[in-house]
Amino acid sequence: MRFNPPKPKPAGGHPGLIRVLLDVGPSVVYLLPLGFLLLFFFYPLAEILRLSLAPQGRLDLSPFAALWRDPYYVRLLAFTTGQAALSTFLTLLVGMPAAYAFAHYEFRARSLLQALTTIPFVLPTMVVAAAFQALVGPGGYLNEWLVALLGLDAPPIRLQHTLALVLIAHVFYNASIVVRMVGGFWSHLNPRLEEAARVLGADRRRTFRLVTLPLLTPAIVAAALLIFLFCFTSFGVILVLGGPRWATLEVEIYYQAVSLFNLPLAAALSLVQMGFTFVVMALYTRLQARSAVPLDLRPAAATRRRPATWGSKLLLWGGVGGLLLLLLAPLAALVLRSFTLGGGWTLRYYRALFTNPTQSFFYVPPAVAIGNSLLIAGGAVLLSLLIGLAAAYLLTGPPGPLRRWADPLFMLPLGTSAVTLGLGYIVALDRPPLDLRASPWLLPLAHTLIAFPFVVRSLLPALRGMNPHWREAARILGASPARLLAEIDLPIIGPALVVGAVFAFTVSIGEFGATLLLARPNLPTMPVVIYRLLGAQGVLNQGQGLAMSTLLMLVCIVSFVLIERFRVGEF
Amino acid sequence: MALLEVINVSKAFGGEPVLQAVSFGVAAGEIVCLLGPSGCGKTTTLRIIAGLEEADEGRVLFAGRSLADVPVHRRGFGLMFQDYALFPHKDVAGNVAFGLRMQGLSRAQVAARVAEMLDLVGLRGYERRRVYDLSGGEQQRVALARSLAPGPRLLMLDEPLGSLDRALREELLGELRRILNEVGVTAIYVTHDQQEAFALADRVILMRRGRIVQEGTPQAVYGRPASAWVARFLGLTNLVPARVIALNPVRLETPFGPVALPGERAVAVGREVTLLLRPEAAHLPAGLPRADEIALEATVRRCSFRGSRYRLTVAPPSGPELTFELPAVGAPPPAPGETVTLALYPTALSLLPPFGEPNTGPDQVRR
C-alpha cells in the first residue's frame, strides 16, 4: 500500500534563546519551590531563632531561662502535651469501631457515609467553634431542649470553656483520620492471614491480638502521631472553646506576641514547640513509610461482607451511627441556629452581614470580609499551583539525594504551627527588600506555605501513575515538547490539578492562626470576623457569627465534594 | 547501501557497560532481529536508535545522514513498546490517530488513515473503545496500528509478544509477519525468544553482554552457531569435545568412539573441535542404521512426552549425556534403563571451535 507521509522536518531545533530557556527551564522550575521555602519559610524561622536566642545581637538565653524557671511554662508544656495525648486516645477510642465497620461491612450508602465522616476535617476551626457553641453553648440547642423538657431553671450543660469541650472538639476534628488511615489500611489487609492463623489453631481473640493488631499497629501509630500533632498545635479550638482558663503553647505564643509584645519570649516558645513537632513529624514519616508497604494487600471490596450477627449489626450501627451523630449534630445545630431568633425563623443575621449596623466594630460591613477572603484565596491558589506543580515534578523526576530530602522538606510547613508562621512573618518581613507588611501578597504567601503541600500530595499519585512510556511513545510519534505538555501531561494530571486547586482554596479560606496575627484590622478575612463576632456580646453579633460560619461551612462542603469527585489515589 | 547504520556504538549506565562497540546495518525493507538474553543490551540499542538515549560513543546514520542532532520527535521512526504504552485518556481511534495529528494532516485524512490501519490489523469497528477494556492481543494490535499509521521510515518493536500466552503468540506472530511484509516497512525486532526471531526475521543478530556475537540468516545461525554460548542459547545442548584424527573423510575421536563425517571440512588433523549434535539429529531406525548414518548405542536415562515430540536423554557408554527430540509417531518411546541404538543424520552434526575460542575460520561443507 502506498502512504506518503509528509517529509520529517529538517533538524534545526529552536532558535538560540529558546533553546537556552528550554535547557535552563527545568532547573529553574526545580529551584522555584526550594527558593520559595527558603525565603518564606526558613528565613522567617531563622529570624525567630535569632530573636529568641540573640535579640540584642549577642547570644542571650534569658528567655529560655525564664521558661525553664517559671513553673507556669512547665505546666503549660505539660498541659499542651497532656491534652493532646488525651485527645488522641479518645479519638482512637471513638474512631476504631467505626473504622472497623467501614472496613469490613458492606451496607447501603457506605461510601457516602464514609465521605461524610471526613467533612469535619476540612472545616475551619472557627466554624467548628461556632457549631459547638450552637449545640452545647449556654444558649445552644441541647440546653434549650433540656430546659424545656425537664423544666429546669438554668441550662444544665455547662461545657463552655471547659477541657471536656476542647476534647470533644478534637475528637470531632480528627476522628476521620482514624477512619481513613486505620480503616483504609484494615480493609486492604489480606484476610487469608487471619484465616491461616485460625486454621493453625488460634481462636478469634488470639488471632486479633497476635495477627491483626501487629499488622495494624503501624497504621494506628501513624494515625495517632498525626492526631497528636494536630491537637498539640491546636489553636482556634482552644482559643474559643477553651476560653481564658486553658492555654496551650500556641495560645501563649499568640498572647505574648500580640497582647504583651514580648517577641523574644514568643520566639523562644515557638522554638520549643518546633522542637516537639519536629520529633513527632520525624517519627510519623518513618512510620508512614513502613505502613505503606503493601503486605500482600487485597482490594477492599474483596474483604467486605454484609453484617450477619446481632453483634456485628450493633457494632455497625453503634460505631458508625454514633460517630456520625457526633459529627453532624453540631453542624446541623449551626445551620439551624443561624436562622432562628427568639422562637422563630429569620434572615436577620444574614442581612446584617451585608449592612453596617452601628454595633459592628468595623466600619465596613462584615461581608467585605467575604470578598477579602476570596481574593486572598485566589492569590493563594495561584501561587500554590505554581509552586506545587514545580515541587511535584521535582519529586517525580530522576532520583537522587535532592529528591529524597525534598519530600519531607516540602511537608515541613504543615508541621509548623500557624501562629509561629505568622510570628515569623511579622519579625522577618519587615524591612526591604522583603517589606511585605503592607503588601496584599502577605496573606496569600502565608497561606501558600500551608496549602502547596496539599497540591503536591494531590499531584504525586497522578504523576507517579504516569507511565514514562506514554511520553516516549508520544515523542516518537512526533510530539514536540509543547505538544507533549498539552496532549499527555495536562489531560492526565488535569483532575489532580483541580483537586489541588480546590484544596488550596479551602485551606486558605479557613486559615485562622497565621491570619489572626497578620491580617490588618480593616481588611479581615472570614474566620477572623467570625472570631470577633462570636466573642462579642449581643444576640445580633452572635447570630452574625453563626451566619457567616454557615456560609463558610457551605463553601467548604462544596469544595470537599469537588475534591472527592476528582481526586486520584489516596493521600 | 544500508538504510540504517549503527557504527561502533557504546553506552554505559552508571559505570556499567551496557553496549560495547556495536555495529550493524539494516537494509531497506529488511526485518532484522536483535536476539539475546535479558540484559544483553538489545532494548538499549533500540532506544539509542529512537533517540530516547544518547550513545556514549559511536554514531547512528540513517540514509547516510547522522542522527546526532535530530530530536526524537523529528526522526520519523516508529516504536512499539513491550507494555504497548497506549494512551489511557484516548480511545482506540485517538491512539492510532496521534502520530497523524502530529504530522498536521486534515481531519478527513486522519480518519481515513485510521480506518485503513484498523482494517489492516483486524480491528475494524473498535474506534470508540477504551483501551483498558481491550484484551492483550487487541492492545497489541492497536499499538501496532498506532506505530504504523504515520508511515515510519523504520519500525522498531520491543518484545511485542512478550506478555501473551503461547497460542495467542503463535497466532499474532503469523499476523505480524504478514502485516510487516504487506506494508514493506524496514523493521528491527527485539526479542529473547529464538522461535519468534526465526519466524519473523530476514536476518538475526545475536547479542550477548553488549556485544554482537553472530549475524546471519536464521538458517545460517542455527546451522552453524559461532560459539558454544550461541549454540546453548539456541537450545543446542549436545556439545561434545572431539579431536580430528583423519581427513577425507573426516574422522573424529569422540568420548563415545570414532565418528566419520561425510564431505570436506576445512580443519587440520590433530585439531581440537567441538562436535554439535542437533536435537533433530537422531531417530530410532526399525532395523539397522544405514551406511551413511552414524550409529550410537546408549542407555536411556529420561524420556519426557512433549506432545508432538518426545525428549530422549541418553547416556552413551562413555562421554556426556545427549538429548534428542524424536517425533512421537510409530513405535512407543523407549523406557528409562533400556539400551537403544540411535541413528544420527550426519548433516545434523556440525563442527564448532573448541570451548572458549573465537570462530577464526569458516566451516564449510563442499560436496
Residue A410 CA to residue A389 CA, distance in Å, equals: 12
Inform me whether the pLDDT recorded for B27 exceeds 90: yes
Residue B233 CA to residue B281 CA, distance in Å, equals: 18
What pLDDT, on a 0 to 100 scale, did the predictor assign at position A302?
63
Only one residue has cell 542437533, namely B278
Contact residues for B102 (Cβ-Cβ < 8 A; gap 6+): A477, A478, A479, A483, B73, B150
Q: Where are the beta strands (DSSP E) in A417-502?
A: none
The chain-wide mean pLDDT, for chain B, equals 87
Beta bridge partners of B300: B314
What pLDDT, on a 0 to 100 scale, did the predictor assign at position A5?
60
* Packing angle, helices A125-136 and A490-510, rounded to 10: 50
Contact residues for B62 (Cβ-Cβ < 8 A; gap 6+): B3, B4, B5, B75, B153, B154
Count of beta carbons in the 10 Å neighbourhood of residue A43? 16
Asked if B229 contacts B315 with a C-beta cutoff of 8 angstroms, the reply is no
Contact residues for A41 (Cβ-Cβ < 8 A; gap 6+): A412, A413, A416, A421, A449
Q: Looking at the domain B4-229, which fold is it? A: Rossmann fold (3.40.50)
Closest by CA to B294, choosing from B337, B232, B251, is B251
Asked if A133 contacts A159 with a C-beta cutoff of 8 angstroms, the reply is no
B79 CB neighbours in chain A (<8 A) are: 472-473, 476
For residue A497, the surrounding DSSP H or E stretch is helix A490-510
Asked if B51 contacts B70 with a C-beta cutoff of 8 angstroms, the reply is yes
CB–CB contact A9 B74 (8 Å): yes
Residue B252 CA to residue B272 CA, distance in Å, equals: 9
Residue B94 CA to residue B86 CA, distance in Å, equals: 10
CA torsion sign for A232, A235, A240, A246 is: positive
CATH 2.130.10.10 for domain B236-352: no
What pLDDT, on a 0 to 100 scale, did the predictor assign at position A571?
41
What pLDDT, on a 0 to 100 scale, did the predictor assign at position B8?
94
Asked if B84 contacts B142 with a C-beta cutoff of 8 angstroms, the reply is yes
What pLDDT, on a 0 to 100 scale, did the predictor assign at position A479?
93
Q: How far is CA B298 from CA B255, B257, B287, B317, B343, in A?
A: 13, 12, 16, 6, 11
What pLDDT, on a 0 to 100 scale, did the predictor assign at position A567?
65
Residue A494 CA to residue A499 CA, distance in Å, equals: 9
List, by residue range, all CATH 2.40.50.140 domains of chain B.
236-352
Closest by CA to A552, choosing from A242, A118, A122, is A122
**Who among B81, B89, B102 is closest to A479 (CB)?**
B102
A488 CB neighbours in chain B (<8 A) are: 87
* Packing angle, helices A263-291 and A418-428, rounded to 10: 130
Residue A317 CA to residue A98 CA, distance in Å, equals: 9
- Strands lying side by side in the sheet with B4-13: B16-26, B4-13, B57-62, B65-66
CB–CB contact B113 A477 (8 Å): no
Longest dimension (CA), chain A: 96
What pLDDT, on a 0 to 100 scale, did the predictor assign at position A291?
58
Residue A431 CA to residue B157 CA, distance in Å, equals: 62
Asked if B24 contacts B47 with a C-beta cutoff of 8 angstroms, the reply is no
A467 CB neighbours in chain B (<8 A) are: 83, 85
Q: What are phi and psi of B158, to 5 degrees?
A: -105, 95
Q: Calculate how close chain A gets to B138, using CA atoms only, in Å.
A: 18
Contact residues for A96 (Cβ-Cβ < 8 A; gap 6+): A178, A182
571 residues of chain A, pLDDT tens digit each: 445 665 554 444 444 555 565 556 667 777 888 899 988 999 998 888 888 777 777 777 777 777 778 888 888 889 999 999 999 999 999 999 888 888 888 888 887 888 788 888 778 888 888 898 888 887 788 888 888 888 877 777 777 788 888 999 999 989 988 888 888 778 777 777 778 887 888 888 888 888 888 888 888 888 898 899 889 988 888 888 888 888 899 899 988 888 888 888 888 888 888 888 888 877 777 776 665 545 555 565 666 777 778 888 888 888 888 888 888 889 988 888 888 877 778 888 888 887 765 555 555 677 788 888 999 999 999 999 999 988 988 888 777 777 777 777 887 787 788 888 888 888 888 777 777 777 888 999 999 998 998 888 888 888 888 888 999 999 999 999 999 988 998 888 888 888 888 889 988 998 998 898 888 877 889 998 888 888 887 888 888 888 889 988 888 888 888 877 776 554 4
Q: How confident is the model at residue B211 (pLDDT cuts 50, 70, 90)?
A: very high
For residue B255, cis peptide bond before it (omega within 30 degrees of 0): no
Closest by CA to A413, choosing from A376, A447, A377, is A447
Inform me whether the pLDDT recorded for B366 exceeds 50: no
Q: For residues B234 and A357, which has the higher predicted lDDT (pLDDT)?
A: B234
Asked if A233 contacts A514 with a C-beta cutoff of 8 angstroms, the reply is no
pLDDT digits (tens, 9 = 90+) for B33-60: 999 998 899 999 999 999 999 999 999 9
- Whole-structure pTM value: 0.70
Cell of A66: 525564664
Longest dimension (CA), chain B: 75
Q: CA neighbours within 13 Å on the CB side: how many for B75?
A: 30
Cell of B220: 545460517
Q: Are strands B322-327 and B154-158 parallel, antiparallel or unpaired?
A: unpaired
Residue spans per domain, chain A: 26-51+84-566
| Alpha-carbon dihedral angle through residues B58, B62, B65, B67, given to the nearest 10 degrees | -60
Q: Calculate how close chain A gets to B89, using CA atoms only, in Å.
A: 7
> Between vectors from CA B355 to CA B266 and to CA B302, what angle results, nearest 5°?
105
Residue A152 CA to residue B239 CA, distance in Å, equals: 104
**Who among B102, B105, B183 is closest to A477 (CB)?**
B102
Q: Calculate how close chain B gets to A109, using CA atoms only, in Å.
A: 28
pLDDT digits (tens, 9 = 90+) for B289-303: 777 788 888 899 988
List, by residue range, all CATH 3.40.50.300 domains of chain B.
4-229
End-to-end CA distance of chain A: 52
Inform me whether the pLDDT recorded for B127 exceeds 90: yes
CATH dotted code for A26-51+84-566: 1.10.3720.10
A-chain residue closest to B53, CA distance: A472
Closest by CA to A483, choosing from A498, A473, A497, is A473
pLDDT digits (tens, 9 = 90+) for B54-104: 999 999 999 999 999 899 989 999 999 988 899 988 899 999 999 999 998
3-state secondary structure A503-517: HHHHHHHHCCHHHHH
pLDDT digits (tens, 9 = 90+) for B155-167: 999 998 877 788 8
* Chain B residues in contact with chain A using a Cβ-Cβ cutoff of 8 Å: 50, 52, 69-79, 81, 83, 85, 87-89, 98-99, 102-105, 113, 116, 146-147, 150-152, 182-183
What pLDDT, on a 0 to 100 scale, did the predictor assign at position A12?
45
B109 CB neighbours in chain A (<8 A) are: none
Average pLDDT over residues B202-214: 94
- By three-state DSSP, how is residue A259 classified? helix
Instruction: Report long-range pairs for A478-482 (Cβ below 8 Å, ≥24 apart).
Output: A478/B73, A478/B74, A478/B76, A478/B99, A478/B102, A478/B103, A478/B150, A479/B73, A479/B98, A479/B102, A480/B73, A481/A22
Closest by CA to A513, choosing from A128, A233, A132, is A233
3-state secondary structure A520-546: CCCCCCHHHHHHHHHHCCCHHHHHHHH
Cell of B334: 523407549
**Who among A11, A478, A487 is closest to B150 (CB)?**
A478
A vs B: CB pairs below 8 A: 81
C-alpha A527 chain-centroid distance: 15
C-alpha A154 chain-centroid distance: 38
B103 CB neighbours in chain A (<8 A) are: 5-6, 478
- Residue A476, chain B, CB below 8 Å: the answer is yes
What pLDDT, on a 0 to 100 scale, did the predictor assign at position A295?
54
| Alpha-carbon dihedral angle through residues B336, B338, B342, B348, given to the nearest 10 degrees | 20
For residue A445, the surrounding DSSP H or E stretch is helix A442-464
- By three-state DSSP, how is residue A293 classified? coil
Residue A213 CA to residue A188 CA, distance in Å, equals: 14
Average pLDDT over residues B111-115: 95
Count of beta carbons in the 10 Å neighbourhood of residue B123? 20
CB–CB contact A3 B99 (8 Å): no
